[in-house]
Chain A
Amino acid sequence: MLATFRGGIHPASHKELTDERALDAAVPPELVRIPLLQHIGASSRPLVKKGDAVTLGQTIAEPGGFVSVPQHASVSGTVKAIKEFPHASGRHVTAIEIANDGEDTPADELEPILDWQNASSEALRNRVRDAGLVGLGGAAFPTHVKLTPPEEKPIHTVVLNGAECEPYLTCDYRLMLEAPDAILVGAQIIHRCVGARRIVIGIEDNKPRAIEIMRAKAAGLDDVEVVRLPTKYPQGSELQLMKTALGVELPKSKLPMEAGVVVQNVGTALAIYEAVVAARPLVERALTITGAAVGSPCNLRVRIGTLCGDLIEQAGGMNGATGRVILGGPMTGVALDTTDVPVMKGTSGIMLIPRSALVDYELNPCIRCSRCEAHCPARLATARIGLAVELDRIEIAERLHVLECIECGCCSYVCPARRPMTQLMRVGKSKVLRERARRRAHG
Chain B
Amino acid sequence: MAERTLFSVSSSPHIRVREGADRVMRDVIIALIPALVGSYFWFGIRAIMLTSISCIAALATEIALLLWRGRKVDGAAVNSALITGVLLTFCVSPRVPWWLVIVGAVVGLGVGKHVFGGLGYNIFNPALVGRAFLMSAYPVAMTTWQIPHQAVDAVSGPTPLAHMKIAAYKHVPDLWHLALGDVGGCIGETSAILLLVGAAYLLVRKVITWHVPVTFLASLAIFAWVFGRTRNDAGGTVIRLFEGVGPLNLGAIPIHLLAGGAILGAFYMATDYVTSPMSPRGMIIFGVGCGLLTGVIRIFGGYPEGVSYAILLMNMTVPLIDRATMPRLFGARALR
Main secondary structure, interface of A, reads loop
Q: Is the CB of B13 within 8 A of A416?
A: no
Mask, A354-369, CB within 8 Å of B = 1, is 0100111100111111
Q: Is the CB of B76 within 8 A of A334?
A: no
Q: Does any Cβ of A come within 8 Å of B234's Cβ?
A: no
Q: Is the CB of A254 within 8 A of B15?
A: no
Q: Is the CB of A251 within 8 A of B334?
A: yes
Most buried by A among B24, B330, B332: B330
The answer to whether residues A5 and B16 also contact, given A336-B7, A365-B120 and a CB cut-off of 8 A, is no
A334: which of B12, B21, B74, B328 is its contact (CB, 8 Å)? B12
Q: Is the CB of A359 within 8 A of B10?
A: yes
The answer to whether residues A249 and B334 also contact, given A364-B76, A373-B278, A381-B326 and a CB cut-off of 8 A, is yes
Tell me which residues across on chain A come within 8 A of B329, comparing CB atoms: 251, 378-380, 401, 404
Mask, B291-328, CB within 8 Å of A = 1, is 00000000000000000000000000000001000111
Most buried by A among B4, B7, B9: B7
Main secondary structure, interface of B, reads loop
Q: Is the CB of A379 within 8 A of B7?
A: no
CA distance A376 to B330 in the complex (A): 9
Tell me which residues across on chain A come within 8 A of B20, comparing CB atoms: 416-418
Q: Could you tell me the distance in whole angstroms from the C-beta of A233 to the nearest C-beta in chain B?
A: 10
Mask, A320-364, CB within 8 Å of B = 1, is 001111101011111111100000000000010101001111001
Q: Is the CB of B14 within 8 A of A414?
A: no
A383: which of B4, B17, B117, B278 is its contact (CB, 8 Å)? B278
Q: Does any Cβ of A come within 8 Å of B118's Cβ?
A: yes
Q: Is the CB of B7 within 8 A of A416?
A: no
A336: which of B9, B17, B278, B330 is its contact (CB, 8 Å)? B9
Interface size class of A (residues with CB under 8 A): 35 or more
Q: Could you tell me the distance in whole angstroms from the C-beta of B18 to the nearest C-beta in chain A?
A: 10
Q: Is the CB of A413 within 8 A of B16?
A: yes
Q: Is the CB of B14 within 8 A of A353?
A: yes
Q: Is the CB of B7 within 8 A of A322?
A: yes
Tell me which residues across on chain A come within 8 A of B121, comparing CB atoms: 365
Q: Could you tell me the distance in whole angstroms from the C-beta of B241 to the nearest C-beta in chain A?
A: 38
CA distance A213 to B20 in the complex (A): 41
Q: Could you tell me the distance in whole angstroms from the C-beta of B278 to the nearest C-beta in chain A?
A: 4
Tell me which residues across on chain A come within 8 A of B120, comparing CB atoms: 365-368, 417
B331: which of A249, A324, A384 is its contact (CB, 8 Å)? A249
Question: A residues 104-150 with Cβ under 8 Å of B?
Answer: none
Q: Is the CB of A420 within 8 A of B21?
A: no
Question: B residues 1-46 with Cβ under 8 Å of A?
Answer: 4-17, 19-21, 23-24
Smallest CB-CB separation from A408: which chain B residue? B13
Question: B residues 72-89 with Cβ under 8 Å of A?
Answer: 74, 76, 80
Tell me which residues across on chain B come within 8 A of A409, comparing CB atoms: 12-13
The total number of A-B Cβ pairs within 8 Å is: 167
Q: Is the CB of A417 within 8 A of B279?
A: no
B7: which of A5, A323, A377, A417 is its contact (CB, 8 Å)? A323
Smallest CB-CB separation from A357: which chain B residue? B15
Q: Does any Cβ of B come within 8 Å of A415's Cβ?
A: yes
Question: A residues 362-397 with Cβ under 8 Å of B?
Answer: 364-370, 373-374, 376-381, 383-384
CA distance A420 to B11 in the complex (A): 8
Q: Is the CB of B13 within 8 A of A331?
A: yes
Q: Is the CB of A330 within 8 A of B8?
A: no
Q: Is the CB of B273 within 8 A of A368?
A: yes
Q: Is the CB of A333 within 8 A of B335?
A: no
CA distance A4 to B146 in the complex (A): 55
Q: Could you tell me the distance in whole angstroms from the C-beta of A237 to the nearest C-beta in chain B?
A: 10
Tell me which residues across on chain B come within 8 A of A258, comparing CB atoms: 334
Q: Could you tell me the distance in whole angstroms from the C-beta of A114 to the nearest C-beta in chain B?
A: 40
Q: Does any Cβ of B come within 8 Å of A296's Cβ?
A: no
Q: Does any Cβ of A come within 8 Å of B100's Cβ?
A: no
Q: Is the CB of A11 within 8 A of B15?
A: yes
Q: Is the CB of A358 within 8 A of B8?
A: yes
Tell me which residues across on chain B come within 8 A of A413, comparing CB atoms: 13, 15-17
CA distance A150 to B37 in the complex (A): 71
Smallest CB-CB separation from A309: which chain B residue? B1
Q: Is the CB of A332 within 8 A of B8?
A: no
Q: Is the CB of A364 within 8 A of B279?
A: no
Tell me which residues across on chain A come within 8 A of B334, comparing CB atoms: 249-251, 254, 258-259
Q: Is the CB of B119 within 8 A of A367?
A: yes
The answer to whether residues A359 and B119 also contact, given A367-B76, A380-B329, A416-B24 and a CB cut-off of 8 A, is no
Q: Is the CB of B8 within 8 A of A323?
A: yes
Q: Could you tell me the distance in whole angstroms from the C-beta of B196 to the nearest C-beta in chain A?
A: 22
Q: Is the CB of A330 within 8 A of B13?
A: yes
Question: A residues 179-195 with Cβ under 8 Å of B?
Answer: none
Tell me which residues across on chain A come within 8 A of B276, comparing CB atoms: 368
Q: Does any Cβ of A come within 8 Å of B274's Cβ?
A: yes
Smallest CB-CB separation from B280: which chain A residue? A374
Tell me which residues across on chain A come within 8 A of B333, comparing CB atoms: 249
Q: Could you tell me the distance in whole angstroms from the C-beta of B81 to the nearest C-beta in chain A?
A: 13
Most buried by B among A370, A379, A380: A370
Q: Does any Cβ of B come within 8 Å of A423's Cβ?
A: yes
A251: which of B11, B274, B331 is its contact (CB, 8 Å)? B331
Known A360-B8, A374-B280, A418-B21; 7 more pairs at CB < 8 Å: A251-B334, A333-B14, A335-B11, A400-B326, A409-B13, A412-B16, A413-B15
The 3 tightest CB contacts between A and B, nearest first, are: A409-B13, A251-B331, A365-B120
Complex A-B: 29 CB contacts under 8 Å: A90-B9, A239-B331, A251-B329, A251-B334, A326-B12, A326-B14, A332-B13, A334-B12, A335-B7, A337-B6, A337-B9, A338-B4, A359-B13, A359-B15, A360-B8, A361-B11, A365-B118, A365-B119, A366-B120, A367-B21, A367-B24, A367-B120, A368-B274, A368-B276, A368-B278, A378-B330, A381-B327, A407-B12, A412-B11
